[in-house]
Amino acid sequence: MKNKKKKSKVLKVVMGSSVGMIVMSLIIIIPVLMVLDFFGANITDNYVENNMDYADMYRETLNSAIKGGYGYVPLNRILYFYLEDEKLTFLEIYKDNIDLEDNRLKEISEVCTLPKYKIYDGCKEIDEDQIDEIQNKPFSPPVDFSKVTITSFFMEERIVFGTPGVHSAWDLAAGNKTPVKSVCDGTIKKVSFKYSENVTDKNGGGGNQIYLECPIDEDLTYTVIYAHLYPGTSKVKEGDSVKAGDELAGIGTTGYSTGPHLHYQVQVNGENVDGMSLIDFSDKKPPFNPGYNPGYNPGGLTPYNPNPNFPTRP
């Protein structure tokens, strides 16, 4: 999945001295601003700018859907339809955009064949920013999603400790020491556990961290950053090879953190990408080895179902 940089849209208006020039300029500017959705959310490059107004509804929908066994639908897809008809609920749109056979995001053209959507302008002329192809899902889940609450999504505009910013990762809240897992067959590139106590430090950045390198093919390698980890829980060291589902450490609240959670961040060549979009949700029972210990249990994976009562999709 490619990560694009946010495109800035700058409108320069040269105002003349006459009233007529001002009026004419306003006549031109206002329709342009409406097209660019200047007065609301701006759907750009697979994520949504100015998303604070929708953040609470989206987080609530994400938690309901993913804990219910559904795959991942990005906010820009939901708003694509919601902004056409605000009588629709986020959860309704979310479910309509999931292919129940493989639990992946449907191609936009397929969704637009549904009677409730095909009448919309956005389906008569589909926006090029909407995904209209089958996506590769190379990752397994970094946590057991039945045990976490999503408290922040990729590129969410938020305020933490009174400071506004845009979040470049996902925050997955759970109890201290909740297992954190490898999302791929890869190599541990960095293990930094500077904190011996599980405490917040506003100057501590990501706190205790693990960096995992995930080679997909000869041209593509993802770097996965697990942050705010609990002291003394690391089960790996730099250079270790791991398998998808191996336990790496436990959730904590070290560093710049408001409470126990996993900061799950994915990069390609130093650029942040949406790590949730890479997760394969088709199997709710991925291989997981809670007793992974390099050198003592090399390469062995055992099937693991942490919650046999996990709510299933209809």
For every residue of 245-312, DSSP letters joined together read: TBEEEEBB--BS-SSSEEEEEEEETTEEE-GGGGB--S-SS---BTT--TTTSTT------S-TT---
pLDDT digit string (tens) for 197-216?
A: 999 999 999 999 999 999 99
* Runs of H (alpha helix) within the chain: 19-35, 52-67, 75-82, 90-96, 108-111, 121-124
The answer to the question of residue 185 being in a domain is: yes
The answer on 247 and 149 residing in a single domain is yes
The answer to the question of residue 118 being in a domain is: yes
**CA 257, CA 205: separation in Å to the nearest integer?**
8
The answer to the question of residue 303 being in a domain is: no
The answer on 176 and 233 residing in a single domain is yes
The answer on 94 and 49 residing in a single domain is yes
The answer on 157 and 116 residing in a single domain is no
The answer to the question of residue 295 being in a domain is: no
The answer to the question of residue 308 being in a domain is: no
The answer on 223 and 184 residing in a single domain is yes
User: Which domain does 43 fall in, by range?
Assistant: 16-135
CATH of the domain at 262: 2.70.70.10
The answer on 213 and 179 residing in a single domain is yes
Provide the domain count of the chain.
2
**Residue 306: its pLDDT value, please?**
30
Structural domain ending residue among the three candidates 135, 166, 185 = 135
**CA 179, CA 274: separation in Å to the nearest integer?**
21
The answer to the question of residue 252 being in a domain is: yes
The rounded mean pLDDT for the chain is 80
Banded pLDDT at 46 (limits 50, 70, 90)? low
**Residue 162: its pLDDT value, please?**
85
**Residue 166: its pLDDT value, please?**
86
The answer to the question of residue 149 being in a domain is: yes
Of 224, 240, 211, 242, nearest to 279 by C-alpha is 224
**Residue 136: its pLDDT value, please?**
85
The answer on 268 and 157 residing in a single domain is yes
The answer on 258 and 221 residing in a single domain is yes
Count the residues in the chain. 314
The answer on 86 and 33 residing in a single domain is yes
The answer to the question of residue 304 being in a domain is: no
pTM, two decimals, is 0.76
The answer on 152 and 84 residing in a single domain is no
The answer on 226 and 205 residing in a single domain is yes
